[in-house]
Amino acid sequence: MARISSLSSLGAFIAPLAFCGLFTPGLANSAEIELAEVPEMHCFGTLRGTLENGDADKVRTILETQSTIYGKRLCLDSPGGSLLEGVNLARLLIEKTTGTAIAKRARCESACALAFMGGRRNDEDDRGDHSDRKLHPLGQLGFHTTALTVPQGQYDGNTVTKAYNLATKGHSEILQLMPAQEFPRSLLIEMLATPSHQMLYVDTVGKAARWNIDVYPTISHEELSKLSMLQACLNGHLRFFDELINPQATFSFVKFEIQESLESDGEVFEYTGQMDSGFREVNATGCEVFFRRHMPDWEDPLLRQAVGVSMGDAYEDFPPFVFHHAETPIRSLARTNDMDVEFRPNRVEQVSLTFDGRCFVIKLSDGRGALADDEDCKMERKLSVDMDLEPTRLEVFAWPSGAKTVIKNNREINGHQIVRYDAQAVQDWIAQKFFPGKQDMTSYIDCWRNSKSGNLFCFSNDPSILVDTSLRDEWYKTQLY
């Protein structure tokens, strides 16, 4: 898969901003380089402190004189500083194909985050140079827009206008020219929309996957299941295409295959999984995942477990964090001991969403309905899937009294079988009674008949929720599997 080096372009367009006073304000103490290895992140040393003019030259000297650091990363621990120096450092790391990392309890923010995005490596294969950016699950990586700083006392209109125009032009150039694979467009947009006094943190699996940042070292699954394969493919889709999957997507029709490769002692060495479809245009593109469970003799801890995801012509290596749901906080994936591979059982994934609405209980007799109850209530839809993607769907309706009505898999109501009824006739009756003149309201009414009592339980939710795109997308999440 072709890769494009993009941060070299970043320096060309963002450098003027630093000269006009755009940098992280209020910081002191220039950066120093501590040449002490950080083995869990495979770093030769750590750059600490505020980035200032000349810091990139310090790193260059080390990279060009220390032969023992070849192939290792530079750890970063900095609150930011000079934007220009952050860009210079990023360009240097690209030039020297040196990876970056943020270790446990370290932070890299503002200008440091731009430097971090310059991390590169070359595995001497057909992929050539590509990104190498590693974030410890207990580290902090934060982005925000630049701060517009005008020299003290120079508040005349021309000075402020010049600084503002340079900033606007620079931001525009970056957005147009940054290739998505190396510095994702969505990250740039989010970064520029985050005020300089706030911070956009990479704190979930989905953000890291989408923005081409590997979270490591993390816990891992013991085996490759259908669920972990699907999560890896969904996160791979985020990285390959820098876009969310269609919220209405479903994978119930997809064929999964998983194969095992055994070592001489009978232990599984590698899993290979394949989904035959489900992605891209008309859901015709499949996805493949391989998972090497444990290779203790590899020097780089990152390589002691390996996950590969391919989709069409796209391929990427990932650490095992990719097996987890996109909304999983990365802090929850930290290991007990960073240097030891740690397996935890695959867990059931669950999504839920709550709506306000009205609950009805209707007694049916001779095809006619008599209203027994009619109250405002709350409905929570919960969907959980096990490792084989077998779903359990619950609708839990909470009445004002505290009582609950539970629908399970659309087959049971409060533990009793749901029986068929003339759905359209009953829904039309409800619509006529409660929404006169609005027959289209029937599409917002769901009813279930209890085989024991014979009663019909119905729920009507406010149709305006479907106008709210974000809420509608959340609703579709509960139908993902």
pTM of the model: 0.76
Give dist(CA 25, CA 111) in Å, integer: 11
Tokens 């006529």 correspond to 432
The yes-or-no verdict on residue 302 having pLDDT over 70 is no
The yes-or-no verdict on residue 398 having pLDDT over 60 is yes
Residue 244's pLDDT band (boundaries 50, 70, 90)? confident
Residue 6's pLDDT band (boundaries 50, 70, 90)? very low
Amino acid at 110: S
Mean local confidence (pLDDT), 170-183: 52
**Residue from 273, 251, 247 nearest 260 by CA:** 273
Mean local confidence (pLDDT), 189-202: 92
For position 171, what pLDDT does the model report?
Answer: 59
Residue 301's pLDDT band (boundaries 50, 70, 90)? low
For position 443, what pLDDT does the model report?
Answer: 60
Say which residues have a Cβ less than 8 Å from residue 179's Cβ, sequence separation at least 6.
4, 6
Mean pLDDT is lowest, of 176-190, 390-404, 433-447, for 433-447
- Residue ranges of alpha helices (H) inside 81-156 are 83-95, 111-116
pLDDT per residue as tens digits for the range 202-214: 999 999 999 999 9
Residue 105's pLDDT band (boundaries 50, 70, 90)? very high
Residue-wise DSSP of 73-88:
EEEEEB--B-HHHHHH
Residue with the bigger pLDDT between 443 and 16: it is: 443
For position 76, what pLDDT does the model report?
Answer: 98
- Domains of the chain from N-terminus onward: 7-202 (3.90.226), 216-346 (no CATH), 350-477 (2.30.29.30)
For position 136, what pLDDT does the model report?
Answer: 98
Mean pLDDT is lowest, of 130-134, 162-166, 221-225, 392-396, for 162-166
- SS percent in the chain: helix, strand, coil, step 5: 30, 30, 35
For position 318, what pLDDT does the model report?
Answer: 94
Residue 465's pLDDT band (boundaries 50, 70, 90)? very low
Mean local confidence (pLDDT), 36-60: 94
**What stretch of H or E contains 237?**
helix 226-241
pLDDT per residue as tens digits for the range 53-102: 999 999 999 999 987 787 899 999 999 988 888 888 988 998 899 999 99
For position 202, what pLDDT does the model report?
Answer: 98
CA distances 458 to 102, 463, 475, Å, are 53, 15, 19
For position 367, what pLDDT does the model report?
Answer: 58
pLDDT per residue as tens digits for the range 7-37: 334 443 343 343 333 444 444 567 899 999 9
| Best-predicted range by mean pLDDT (101-105, 151-155, 326-330, 349-353) | 101-105
Mean pLDDT of the chain: 81
Give dist(CA 337, CA 221) in Å, integer: 16
